[in-house]
Each structure stands twice: as C-alpha cells, then as structure tokens.
Amino acid sequence: MDALKYEELDRLVSELDCESLRDEPLSKHTNFKIGGPAARLITVFNDRALSGILRGLAHIELPYFVLGRGSNLLVGDKGYPGVALKLEFTYGGIMQDGVTLYAGAGMSLNGACAYAKEESLTGLEFAWQIPGSVGGAVYMNAGAYGGEMKDVITRVWYMDTEGRLLDATGDELGFGYRRSAFMEGGRIITQAEFKLAPGNKEEIAAKMKELKDRRLEKQPYDMPSAGSTFKRPKTGYAAALIEQCGLKGRRVGGAQVSEKHAGFIVNTGGATCKDVLELMEIVRETVLKETGTELEPEVRVIGEN
C-alpha cells in the first residue's frame, strides 16, 4: 500500500517541478549529524508547488514534517517513515520596505541578521549566530541574550494543510517561551514580517561581533549538536543545574554532556539517537532527584528508533 502511495507522490512531485530524494539519510541534513533516512526528502520552490504537495499528502495520507536547516532536530536511528519537506528558492529571499523586512521561511536567520545590519536596521542583533532558518526561528520563538523572535515579528504567512496561503498577526501568533501557534495543526510558515528600527551600522556590527564572541567562547560550536538541549526552567538555568549535579562530560556511547557548556549534548563521533535520548534521560532524572527541578527538552525529536 505504501509503495502505491509513494508512486502517486512521485508523479505529483514531477508535475510540480519539485526535487525529491528517496531514502535520504537525515544525518546529512541535521546539525546533530544523527538520523536514519526519510522515505522522501522533497524540496519545494514556490507557493504553487507547496500547496500542491500539501493537498497531495493529505489525499494520499502520508505524514510529513518541515526539515528547515535541521538545527534543533534529533532524528530517530531508523529514520522518518514519511516525507521531509525543504523550502528553497523564493522561500530563501528577503525584501525591505523602510524598517520592515519580509524574509522567506527558508532563509537562514543569520542571512536576515546580516541584511538588517547592511541596511542599518537594529533589533535583530540578539539572533546573530543562532543557527537555523527564519521559519524554524519563528516556529520555536527562538531567542538569546534578552531577545526573542516575538519582539520583532509582526506578521507570519503560512500554508495550511489544505494548501491555502493565510496569515496571522498579534495574539494569533501564540508566542511564548520557545513556542508559537505553529507548533500545532500542521501549518507551514512561508514568510515572516520583521519590524525593526533605524540604527547605526557600525554599532550594530559591534554588537553582533560581541555576541558572536560570547557564543564562541562559551558554547561548543566545534562539535555537532542541536543547540541547547533543555529549555530554561522556571528558576535557575539548565546548564548550571546540570553542572551542579556533576554531569558535565557524562557520556553514553558517542553522546556527551559538553565539557564546555553543560546545556549542550554533543555528538563526539558516531553518536546515535538512542545514545542522545538515553543521556537526556539520565540528565533529567539526576537533576530532578538532586534539585527537584524537572527539565523539559528544547530539542525536537522525530522519527523511529
């Protein structure tokens, strides 16, 4: 039955001029460098194609998820039994109207930050060197150093599961700590509107350099990871609690609590999803037992083990 479904999907992909890879290892597309294959990895280049693919997936009844740039993703060792979607081309561009930027969901967040700097627009400095795409950053309300996407995002365009292009503003965006309304309902972000402010290019560049230097000094950018493994708890900081419990450097297989920053679990080489999940559970159980604080994962886990 699944073979027939994928034959139908392959015909649709060809008709819509998308690109498709069969049984593509997701370890090649995630910052963690971990994960088995997706049955299909489909790259979509415009709204017409995305609408057609979403309507087709609903009709064929195949599961899907948006891969983005794979920066906050842990994929199961057996892979994902469905379709991984990537947005490229028109989704990777940016336009400007005064202090307003319109960035495609497939654009890198760093690309949007660099554009804002070149146009002397301030407000996005906090996001410099946060890995991932604009769509992914909006999806999880990414933030750092006192700023979050909710501070600069005023409108989001998205495609619903029926392939309709819609938009959301204000409370409809559902922003909270590391969450947004787009985490439910299968909607796919296609574009985001940023409201920034006039600034001084040299001052913006200096702030971005300062934050980059702080990240490089404190965080293990030289090793594969999915960024911060756990969300900030209501009291204290995850990294401090993990280090307090003597877990810095703790290993399971190729996965390790970073010796540089305890808030990161890194792939030291050959780590599996199973290794990472086992280590995450050790960290959660130990921190809960010794401090009474329950840590909640920030990394998104999909697929099968």
pLDDT for the residue 305: 85
Residue 145 shares a structural domain with residue 239: no
Show which of 28, 63, 87 is a domain's final residue. Answer: 87
pLDDT by residue, tens only, the chain of 305 residues: 588 999 999 999 999 999 999 999 999 999 999 999 999 999 999 999 999 999 999 999 999 999 988 889 999 999 999 999 999 867 788 999 999 999 999 999 999 999 999 999 999 999 999 988 999 999 999 998 889 999 999 999 999 989 999 999 999 999 999 999 999 888 999 999 999 999 999 999 999 999 999 888 888 988 999 989 999 998 889 999 999 999 999 999 999 999 999 999 999 999 999 999 999 999 999 999 999 999 999 999 999 88
What CATH number is given to the structural domain containing 227?
Answer: 3.90.78.10
Residue 61 shares a structural domain with residue 121: no
Evaluate whether residue 167 is within a structural domain. Answer: yes
What CATH number is given to the structural domain containing 98?
Answer: 3.30.465.10
Residue 12 shares a structural domain with residue 60: yes
Residue 199 shares a structural domain with residue 99: yes
Residue 237 shares a structural domain with residue 269: yes
Evaluate whether residue 213 is within a structural domain. Answer: no
Show which of 48, 64, 87 is a domain's final residue. Answer: 87
Residue 80 shares a structural domain with residue 110: no
Residue 115 shares a structural domain with residue 167: yes
Evaluate whether residue 49 is within a structural domain. Answer: yes
Evaluate whether residue 210 is within a structural domain. Answer: no
**CA 30 – CA 73 distance, rounded (Å):** 7
pLDDT for the residue 219: 87
pLDDT for the residue 215: 86
Q: State the residue range of the domain holding 21.
A: 2-87
Residue 41 shares a structural domain with residue 134: no
Active site residues: 178, 228, 298
Residue 113 shares a structural domain with residue 79: no
Q: Domain tally for the chain?
A: 3
Residue 236 shares a structural domain with residue 298: yes
**CA 15 – CA 140 distance, rounded (Å):** 33
Evaluate whether residue 211 is within a structural domain. Answer: no
Residue 182 shares a structural domain with residue 253: no
Evaluate whether residue 275 is within a structural domain. Answer: yes
Residue 123 shares a structural domain with residue 198: yes
**CA 134 – CA 112 distance, rounded (Å):** 8
Residue 282 tokens, joined: 């050790």
What CATH number is given to the structural domain containing 57?
Answer: 3.30.43.10
Could you tell me which of 64, 26, 21 has the C-alpha nearest to residue 187? 64
Evaluate whether residue 209 is within a structural domain. Answer: no
Show which of 176, 203, 230 is a domain's final residue. Answer: 203
Residue 31's CB is within 10 A of a number of other CB atoms, namely 18
The model's pLDDT over 178-191, given as tens digits with 9 standing for 90+, comes to: 999 999 888 999 99
pLDDT for the residue 1: 59
Evaluate whether residue 105 is within a structural domain. Answer: yes
